Amino acid sequence: MSQRNLTRRHFLYLAGLGTAGTLIACGDEKTPEPPPLPKEVWVYVGTYTTGQQSQGIYLCRLDLETGALQQVGVTPGVTDPSYLAVDSQRRHLYAVNELTTFEGKPSGAVSAFTIDPDTHALTFLNQQASQGGAPCHLEVDAEDGFVLVANYVGGNVAVLPIQEGGRLGPAVDVDQHEGAGPETSPHAHQIRLDAGQKHALVPDLGTDKIMVYRFDAGQGTLTPHAPASVSTAPGAGPRHLAFHPNGRFVFNINELNSTLTAFAYDGERGTLTPLQTVSTLPADFTGASYCADIHVSPDGKFLYGSNRGHNSIVVYAIGAAGELTYVEHVSTQGNWPRNFAIDATGSFLLVANQRSHSIVTFRRDAQTGKLTPVGAPLEVPAPVCLLLVPA
The answer to whether residue 13 scores a pLDDT higher than 70 is no
C-alpha to C-alpha distances, 200 to 2, 125, 245, 264, nearest whole angstrom:
38, 27, 16, 16
Q: What is the DSSP string of 13-82?
A: HHHHHT-----SSTT----PPPPPPPSEEEEEEEE--TTSS--EEEEEEEETTT--EEEEEEEES-----
Q: Which residues pair with 105 in a beta bridge?
A: 102
Which one has a higher pLDDT value, 9 or 45? Answer: 45
Residue 234: cis peptide before it, omega within 30 degrees of 0: no
Give residue-wise pLDDT tens across range 29-60: 456 677 677 799 999 999 999 999 999 999 99
113, 115, 343, 41: CA torsion to nearest 10: -150
Cα distance between residue 388 and residue 365, in whole Å: 19
The answer to whether residue 27 scores a pLDDT higher than 60 is no
Give residue-wise pLDDT tens across range 212-255: 999 999 999 999 999 999 999 999 999 999 999 999 999 999 99
Cα distance between residue 90 and residue 142, in whole Å: 12
Q: What is the DSSP-derived secondary structure letter of residue 167?
A: P
- Name every residue whose Cβ is closer than 8 Å to that of residue 45 and which is 6 or more positions away in sequence: 57, 58, 59, 60, 352, 359, 380, 383, 385, 386, 387
Quote the pLDDT of residue 137: 98
C-alpha to C-alpha distances, 79 to 23, 48, 49, 211, 217, nearest whole angstrom:
48, 7, 6, 29, 30
309: helix, coil or strand?
A: coil
Quote the pLDDT of residue 323: 97
The answer to whether residue 18 scores a pLDDT higher than 60 is no
Quote the pLDDT of residue 347: 97
Percent of the chain with pLDDT over 90: 88
The chain-wide mean pLDDT, for the chain, equals: 92
Residue 159 in contact with residue 171, Cβ under 8 Å? yes
**CA-atom Rg of the chain in angstroms:** 20
pTM: 0.92
Cα distance between residue 3 and residue 279, in whole Å: 39
User: Model confidence at 3, in pLDDT bands (50, 70, 90)?
Assistant: very low
Cα distance between residue 114 and residue 166, in whole Å: 7
Quote the pLDDT of residue 270: 96
- CB-count exposure of residue 323 (10 Å: 0-12, 13-18, 19+): middle
Quote the pLDDT of residue 36: 72
Percent of the chain with pLDDT over 70: 91
For the segment 262-289, the average pLDDT, to the nearest whole number, is 97
The answer to whether residue 384 scores a pLDDT higher than 70 is yes
Cα distance between residue 174 and residue 157, in whole Å: 6
Quote the pLDDT of residue 38: 78
173: helix, coil or strand?
A: strand
Give residue-wise pLDDT tens across range 323-376: 999 999 999 999 999 999 999 999 999 999 999 999 999 999 999 999 999 989
Quote the pLDDT of residue 182: 81
Domain coordinates in residue numbering, the chain:
232-331
Residue 336 in contact with residue 319, Cβ under 8 Å? no
Q: What is the DSSP string of 83-105?
A: -EEE-TTS-EEEEEE--S-BTTB
Residue type (1 letter), 12: L
Quote the pLDDT of residue 155: 97
Give residue-wise pLDDT tens across range 277-324: 999 999 999 999 999 999 999 999 999 999 999 999 999 999 999 999
Give residue-wise pLDDT tens across range 168-220: 999 999 999 998 888 889 999 999 999 999 999 999 999 999 999 999 999 99
Quote the pLDDT of residue 9: 53
Quote the pLDDT of residue 260: 98
For the segment 372-386, the average pLDDT, to the nearest whole number, is 97
- Residue 239: which H helix or E strand, with range? strand 238-243
